[in-house]
Structure 1
Amino acid sequence: MEAGSVVVSYVSSPIATWSCLVVLLSIHLAMNHAAVRAVSLHSLNRQRANIVMSNLLVNNRVMTPDEVSSQERIFEWDGVLRWRGSLPFAKARIGVTLHCLLKTLAPAHVVTGAICDGDLILERLVEVYRHEDFLVWYDSPKTTAYVVLKDQASAKAQLKAWALALWGAHRFETQYSIGANTDDLLRLLETTLSDISNQWDDSIERLRAAGWDIGIANLETSSGSRVRVGAESLQVIGERKK
């Protein structure tokens, strides 16, 4: 009791009380930070996918979960795109509705809200991704990539879509600093898709060998939408909420 009374006497003033509180909170946060750093997760969320895929695409090297864990940020902006841990250069949204995509393809009428020319670009976009389970578009003025997932999109397909959004946005910001038209963007997305597809199966096997669990769909942070696309007409024939 006597020792306890001595301790209490040192923290009886407001300054001493707040000083002790700050010190204890700092120790608590430091220990939590160290504990989080020690955890090595084997699923690819958005931040880990940015780190892994950018290094794979530029260095042809697959980082292990332990290596990625040392580079992860404890707090990260949702959907931000970083190239090899650099400053954010764009954003990405995955599992968006078709209407959301259409609004980025063409401006809506100021009175009716109708989207007049977006369907023409959409038809070309669907043609580019006719063999994929997703659509990807990059809105350069907003520096935002939009990913629409088709009804059968697997975790593997979602990762490929995110890799395409990441690399496509990076290429666009690097090659078209003064802007580009729709044809330029479609060609860039088509080229990026071809480059990724040529090495995708091998990349997936290398990711698995490095310890990553590709079967976990961890890129959507909220309930997303899915679309069904007609094989012959290349038109969207349905949409549902995931």
Structure 2
Amino acid sequence: MILDCLSPAFPRSARILMLCCSGSLRAACGVAGGGSKASLSVHFARSGNVGELNAKDSSQETVIGLMGMLAGSFVVSHISSTWATWLSLMLLLAVHLGTNFKAVTAVALRTLNRQRTNVVCSAFLDTGEILTPRQAARRERIFERDGVLRWGESRVLGNAEIGVKLTALIRSLHQSPECKKKGEEGVSLTELANVFQNEKHLLWYDVQKRLVTICLKEKVSPEEQLKSWVHALVLAKEIRHRWPKGGADNSNRPSQQALLDIVRETLDDIGMSFTPMSQRLREAGWDLGAPVLETVPGYRVGICSIEITSAGGGRDDTTAKGGEAKKDI
């Protein structure tokens, strides 16, 4: 809207560019607003009456639009100077943005997205208290970077990517600086898969990037996705606690084996606390059945077992009874 009002003051070539930018921004705003409106409609339709809710919402928009046209006709008839026009525009825009900000902060969504998971789970692990959707909404940030791992309201611990390809996890496993320097391969995918044998996810922490890469297995449920994100949050906090510099100093960077041990320890801790936490989350009014942690279409990892038969008479540590062993891939 501001670009539209500014365009007459510029030459024709610049005016066309400004109008194109204005149209593009208006289209992007429409897409984002439509998606937000759909999410809010599902949130407020407690009885599944989304159609009825949308019909009432459309009627309200029509009435508000007519009232806006009447108010605009009154304002335009009393404004004649350029300064008065711009002053009215800025004032109305400020009121519009302020009321929208208040409306967004007043909504207490019951689904656990990435930011709300950080807020609620860190509060539970610190104090044993489960925040209600209303309490979590008061602590939620309107402008938060996507994928941030933040413990409560403190500084950022790192970032996380969920539902990525297996190749991203493999790259994270083998790009440790000390492994590249020594020519080592670091922790193998088989070792990591053994740690997560009974889980529906795989994850690894990249010390240099402070990035947790999360791969989800096939048929993973929304609750298991939530568990993987909580595991990533606890893992990032534990690594930051043990290595405050976060691996910035090469002499203070954890080894790959130490990271694997921490991954195993934090997984055991989450395994003991996640079930009672999820039960209390439901009692507090949270909806754990909505998969909202993935903001883009994600990938799934398939795990299969193959039989390896020992050809010779020798027997290694991986060989089971009858000269056969099963490995997960």
Same fold (TM over 0.5): yes
Give the whole-Å Cα distance in 2 for the aligned partners of 1:104 and 1:7: 60
Find out whether 1:89 has 2:157 as its counterpart. yes
> Normalized against structure 1, the TM-score is what?
0.86
Say whether the 8 Å CA contact 1:10–1:16 is kept in structure 2.
Answer: no
Query: What's the CA shift for 1:38?
Result: 1.5
Determine which of 288, 292, 295 is the counterpart of 1:221.
295
Q: Residue by residue, what CA displacement relative to the aligned partner does 1:36-82 show, whole Å, maximum 9, x if unpaired? A: 11211111000100101111111111100000111112222111111
Alignment RMSD:
2.1
1:105 to 173, 176, 190: 173
Deviations 1:134-156 (A, max 9, x none): 00111110011110000021111
Q: Please say which of residues 154-163 and 20-29 is displaced more in the overlay.
A: 20-29
- Matched with 1:233 is 327
- Residues of 2 paired with 1:27 and 1:82: CA distance? 32
Which ranges in structure 1 are unaligned for 5 or more consecutive residues? 109-115, 236-242
Identical aligned residues as a percent: 41
The separation in 1 between residues aligned to 2:255 and 2:288, in whole angstroms, is 35
Rounded Cα–Cα distance in structure 2 between residues aligned with 1:55 and 1:75 = 20
Relative to the length of structure 2, the TM-score reads: 0.64
Q: Which amino acid aligns with 2:274?
A: W
Q: 2:260 aligns with which of 174, 180, 186?
A: 186
User: Comparing both structures, which one devotes a greater share of its residues to helix?
Assistant: 2
Return the letter of the residue paired with 1:217.
P
Aligned mates of 2:137, 2:75 — CA distance in 1: 40
Task: Tell me the CA shift for residue 222 of structure 1.
Answer: 0.4
Q: Give the paired residue count.
A: 224
Which residue of structure 2 lines up, in the alignment, with residue 146 of structure 1? 213
Distance (whole Å) between structure 1 residues aligned to residue 274 and residue 157 of structure 2: 24
Q: What are the superposed Cα offsets for residues 63-110 of structure 1, whole Å, 9 maximum, x if unpaired? A: 0000011111222211111110223231110001000111111149xx
Q: Which has the larger radius of gyration?
A: 2
Contact 1:125-1:135 at 8 Å conserved across structures: yes
Question: How many Å separate the matches in 2 of 1:179 and 1:102?
Answer: 20
Q: Which has the higher contact order (CA 8 A, sep 6+)?
A: 1
* DSSP 3-state at the match of 1:77: coil
Residue 48 (structure 1) aligned with residue 116 (structure 2): yes
In structure 2, the residue matched to 1:156 is 223
Q: Helix, strand or coil for the counterpart of 1:101?
A: helix
Match of 2:308 in 1: none
C-alpha distance in 2 between matches for 1:191 and 1:67: 30
Secondary structure of the residue that 1:63 maps to in structure 2? coil
Deviation (angstroms), 1:9 = 7.5
For residue 198 of structure 2, what is the aligned residue in structure 1? 131
Work out the CA distance in 2 between the residues paired with 1:18 and 1:82.
Answer: 41
**By how many angstroms is 1:196 displaced?**
1.0
Q: Distance in 1 between matches of 2:159 and 2:328?
A: 28
- What residue is the counterpart of 2:48 in the other structure? none
Shift of 1:207: 0.5
Mean CA deviation greater in 198-207 or 10-19: 10-19
d(CA) in 1 for partners of 2:136 and 2:207? 29
**Residues 126 and 12 of structure 1: CA distance in aligned 2, closer, same or farther (over 3 Å):** same
Cα distance between partner residues in 1 of 2:105 and 2:231: 28
Residues in 2 aligned to 1:21 and 1:183: alpha-carbon distance in whole angstroms: 61
Pairwise CA distance, 1:230: 2.5
